[in-house]
Structures are given as structure tokens and as C-alpha cells.
Structure 1
Amino acid sequence: MTKTILTVSALSLMASATLALADGHQDRTGWPESFTLGTASQGGTYFAYGSGWANLVAEELGISGGGEITGGPMQNMALVHTGEIAFGLTTLGPAFESLTGNNPIAPGLQMTNACAMFPMYQTPFSITTLSSSGITSVADIPAGSRIGFGPAGSTSDTYFPRMMETLGVDFERRNGGWSDLGGQLQDGLLDVIAFAAGVPVPAVSQLEVQADINIIEFTEDEQAQILETYPVAPFQISADSYSTIDADVRSVSMWNFAIANCELPESFVYAVVDVIMSDNERMVNIHRASRSTIPENYDRNNVLMWHPGAARWFTENAGAMIDDGMIHQDM
């Protein structure tokens, strides 16, 4: 697995952090000296969101840690399951496929050692083109169009091609990081980019500054077809997400969850979840998609086993009702 590591050294443990740790996180038995969080490609929401929360946790807990560029949800499930990295970000669709042995990185391997930590946000599926293309709807996409679906194995690459086929679109499939695909769209090497990422997607925000673009919504019938066929929910991309749109855009979405290797110490994962979930404003400052990174969304997880430390945090601090059968137990 090829990957690039971007490790950010934590700041020295400040007096305030020392007090906070003394108050709630005294037991550091078995804690790692450093940690790595798997994100995705640069230009996507995972990279911005994940790198931000990794740095926040490192600073608050006084541990060296940071984000790592990966291939996205599928690879993150594999890396966290094997313990190659401590934490990762995934979407519940790829998580389900990984648990059932259908992860293309290791076909047949049931990746049951990756546990849920906390809810992140919904990933909308959205379509972007240059205005000069004349494409203003899914039906307008010409046969044989070159469509960029993001990194191979990503949520977008796993589900968006299937959705396009369901809607009758004939296309050439292309892969790459979101920033690279945005450049290819501007250079005329792609006709469409099909994004599955939390909004605003950094690559789209950059594109609309540099070019005139169209952000295309699904019709009601198209949305209904996708909802009937795939594990997604209805979603509206709000008009304030991009300067290009002046009304909400009809879409569909999947929930994203942060994951942890199930064997990490309970007290460590509890402390990490506490940093993230106890102050939503800090997370929103990292990325606006974090408006959904709130305790009450814990029940959006119906796929992954919970890490015991995370389950304890939500039970003690958010009144969560998590069935014992959904909490990972050491064998």
C-alpha cells in the first residue's frame, strides 16, 4: 500500500492541557507515544477534516500525531484493521463491504478489527462540470464522457459509477486525487467530476474561483432511482455551500464515521472522543461539515461495532443507548 505520511509534531504539553488531563484522563496505561490518522487525497474533505482533528487531538493530549494521505475509506478500513494506523475515516457503505469481505484491497478478508469512534458528517454525491461544457443535468452528459470518480477504492469510486450506470450514463472511468481531477477538468482532460465528499469540497471551492462551473443536481426521479438501489439517504446541498449555486441542490448521501483499531486502550479512545465531541465549535473551525459532528448523531451507525472507549463516552456524556452486542469485546 503506497501512502504519504504527513506527521505533525504535537506542541509541548501546556499547563492548561495538563490540568485537563489531570481532571479526566489520568489513566494513560498502554497509550501509544504517537498516532497516525488515515484520511484520503489532498483536495478532498477527508484530508482537510482529518488532518485538522488529528492535529487538535495531538495538541490537546500532548501526543505526537497527524494525518496521512491514503486512498480513502476502503484503504483506511484495511490499515486500521491491521493496526498499521491507529485511526481512520470511512463511510458506512465501504465499511459494510469491508466487514463482509468485499474490500477490493484484500478480497475475502473480513475487516472486523476496525471499530466506530464518532459520527462525522454526511457525504453528498455531487456532479461538477465546466459551464462551457453545456452540461446542466445528468441527462446532458454525452455518451463516452470522461468522468473522474476520485481515488480508486474511495466511496465515490465504489458507488458513483454504479449510480451513473443506473441512470443510463455511458462514460469512461478515470481515477485520481480530487485536486488532480480538478486540474484535469480545467485543462479539458475530463468532462465531469463526480464527487462524494463532505461539502464544501475544497477542490470544488477552488474550481469555482478559477473557472465558471455547473454543480448539477439529481432530478426527483433520478434521486428516487438511486435511493431505491443504494444504501444512501436524501440530501440537500445548501445554497451557502458554494458561490456558484443560489438554491439548494438535490442529492443523496452516506454517513461517515471515524474509526479506531479495536485493540487501542479504552482510556485512550475515550480521551480522543472527548476532545472531538466536547467542543463542536473547534471542529466547525476546521471544516464546516463538522456541524454534523455532534453526539446525537451517534445512532447513525448501524454497521460497525463500537470501540469500548467510544461507547463509554457516548453512554456517559450523551445518554446514548448502545446495545452491548454492538460494542467490541476482546476475544
Structure 2
Amino acid sequence: MKHLGKFSAAAAALLIAAGVGTAAQADRSQWPQSFTVGTASQGGTYFAYGSGWANLVAETLGVSGGGEVTGGPTQNLALVHTGDLAFGMTTMGPAREALEGRSPLAPGIKMDQVCALFPMYQTPFSITALASSGIKSISDIPAGAKIGFGPAGSTSDTYFPAMLETLGVKFDRRNGGWNDLGGQLQDGLLDVIAFAAGIPIPAVSQLEVQAEVNIIEFTADEQKKVMDAFPVADFTIPASTYKSLNADARAVSMWNFAIANCALPADFVYEVTKVVMENNDKMVSIHKAARTTVKENAVKNTFIPWHPGAARWYKENGIDIPDNLIKQ
């Protein structure tokens, strides 16, 4: 385990089983010497949010740590499972596939060393085009349009193409980091970008500074059709999110959770969870999407096993975590 620090499997197991200790009492000799949080491409919400909470934890606990650019949720699950990353961020769709052994990166391997850490935010699926394109609705997207779906294997790339196919859109699929795709849209190399990221999306905010854009919403019928076919919920993008919006925009969304390698010491994970969950004002200053990074949303996780250290913090703070959903 490259980033989990130096602690034996036996010591980690004892710590996880015990699940006791406070920040002052914790035996830091078993803590990792450093940690890394798997995020996604630069220009996306994962990178800004993940790097921010990694730095907050590092500064508060005095442990070296930071964010790392990755391919996004699907890759983060694999890297956290193997221990190449201590922490990561994922959406619930790819998480279920990974736990059931259906990850496209490792078919047949159940990623049972991935544990839940804390709720993050909902990821809206939203579409952006240049105003000059004349594309104002999903039905306006012409056949063969060049659409950027984010990094290969990301939540956006996994689900958005299938969603648009369900809605009858025929397109030429493109991949890349959000910043790169934003530049390609502005240069006329793409017709549309289909984003799945917490709002406001940095790449969209940057685009608005440089060009006039259309934030394209789902119609009620399109929203229902997608919700019937995919593990998503209804969502509204507030008009205040982007200067290009004159009214709230209809969308769909999927929950995101922070994840941890299950072998991390319980008292270390307890302290990490405490830092994030007890400093929401600081989290919101990192990214506005963190408004929903609160303990009450822990219940949005119904299938990822909770890390014992994280579960202990929630139970101490009035959130009921079912015993059968805590990693043994």
C-alpha cells in the first residue's frame, strides 16, 4: 500500500476492531506518515473539492497529505481498494458496480476494501454549449454532434452517453479533462460538453468569463425518462449558480461519497471524519457544493460498508449507522 504509511496488517486490524481513542490519546505511531486523496481531472469539482479537504485534514492533523489527479470515480475505487490511495471520491453508481465486481477496470473483482467516509454532494448531470451554436435544448443537439463527456471512465463518461442515447441523441463521443474540453468548446472543436460534476463547475464558470454559453436543462419528460432508466434522482440547478442562467434549470443527479481504504487505522479515520464533518464552514469555503457535506446526509449511503472509524464518529453525533453496514 503505497500511500497508507507504515503500519502492519495486524496492528490495523486491532485498531479497527477496537474503534476507541481520542485525538489526544490516539497512538499516532500507527497512523500513516502521509496520505493522498484521489480526485479527478483539473477544472472539475472533484479536483477542487478533494484537494481542499485533503489540505484541511493535513493542516488540522499535522499529517502530510494532498489531492491527486486521477481518472475520477471508477479509478478512485480501484486505487483505494488496492491501497495505492488512502482516500478517494466516488459517485454511487460506479461504487455499486465496483462492490459487486462489475467495475470496467477490474471485471469480476469485488472491491471489498473500499469503505465509506463521509457524504459529499449530489452530482448534477448538466449540458453546456456556446450560445453561438444555437443549441438551447437537448432536442437541438444535431446528429453527429461532437460531445465531450469528461475523462474516460469518469461518472460522466460512464452514464451521460447512455442517457443521451436514451433521449435519442446521436453523437461523436470525445474524452478529456474538463479544462481541456472547455478550451475545445471555446475553439469550436466541440459542439457540447456533458458535465457530471458538483456545481458550480469550475470549467463552466471559466467559460462564462470568456464566452456566452447556454446551460441546457432537461425537459420534464426527458428528466423522467432518464430517472426511469438510470440510478439518478431529480435535481434543480439554482439560477444563482451561473450568470448564464435566468431561471432554475431542471437536471438529474447522483450522490457522491468520500471513501477510504478499509485497512486504515480506525482512530486516524475517526479524526479525518471529525475534521471534515465538524468544519462545514471551512468546507464550504473550499467549494460551495460542500453545503451538503453534513452528517444528516450519511443516510444517503445504503450499501458501501462504513469504515469503523467513521461509523464511530457518526454514532457519537446522533446518526444511526446500522451495524450490518459497518466493515468488520
TM-superposed deviation, 1:39: 0.3
1:277 aligns with 2:277: yes
Counterpart of 1:157 in structure 2 is 157
Counterpart of 1:133 in structure 2 is 133
Counterpart of 1:324 in structure 2 is 323
TM-superposed deviation, 1:324: 1.0
* Comparing 106-115 and 187-196, the one that deviates more: 106-115
Counterpart of 1:96 in structure 2 is 96
Residues of 2 paired with 1:167 and 1:253: CA distance? 16
Q: Is the 8 A contact 1:239 1:248 kept in 2?
A: yes
1:222 aligns with 2:222: yes
Q: Is the 8 A contact 1:92 1:303 kept in 2?
A: no
* Comparing 43-52 and 301-310, the one that deviates more: 301-310
1:58 aligns with 2:44: no
Counterpart of 1:17 in structure 2 is none
TM-superposed deviation, 1:302: 1.3
Cα distance per residue 1:113-168 (max 9 Å; x no partner): 11000000000000000000000000000000000000011000000001000000
TM-superposed deviation, 1:23: 6.8
- Structure 2 counterpart SS, 1:105: coil
Residues of 1 paired with 2:24 and 2:238: CA distance? 39
Report the AA paired with residue 252 of structure 1.
V
Cα distance per residue 1:24-45 (max 9 Å; x no partner): 3421241001001100000000
Moved over 3 A (4+): 22-25
Residues of 1 paired with 2:29 and 2:304: CA distance? 26
Cα distance change, pair 212–277 in 1 and its aligned pair in 2 (3 A): same
CA RMSD of aligned residues (A): 1.2
- Structure 2 counterpart SS, 1:24: coil
Report the AA paired with residue 264 of structure 2.
L
Counterpart of 1:144 in structure 2 is 144
1:24 aligns with 2:23: yes
Cα distance per residue 1:82-112 (max 9 Å; x no partner): 0001000000001011111121111111111
Counterpart of 2:75 in structure 1 is 75
Counterpart of 2:263 in structure 1 is 263
- Structure 2 counterpart SS, 1:256: strand
Residues of 2 paired with 1:246 and 1:25: CA distance? 51
Q: Is the 8 A contact 1:25 1:267 kept in 2?
A: no
* Comparing 54-63 and 28-37, the one that deviates more: 28-37
Q: Is the 8 A contact 1:130 1:213 kept in 2?
A: yes
Mind listing any 5+ residue stretches in structure 1 that lack a counterpart? 6-21
Residues of 1 paired with 2:128 and 2:25: CA distance? 49
Mind listing any 5+ residue stretches in structure 2 that lack a counterpart? 4-20
Question: Identical aligned pairs, as a percentage?
Answer: 68
Residues of 2 paired with 1:181 and 1:46: CA distance? 16
Residues of 2 paired with 1:201 and 1:96: CA distance? 25
Counterpart of 2:200 in structure 1 is 200
Report the AA paired with residue 193 of structure 2.
I
Q: Is the 8 A contact 2:22 2:267 kept in 1?
A: no
Q: Provide the TM-score with structure 2 as the length reference.
A: 0.92
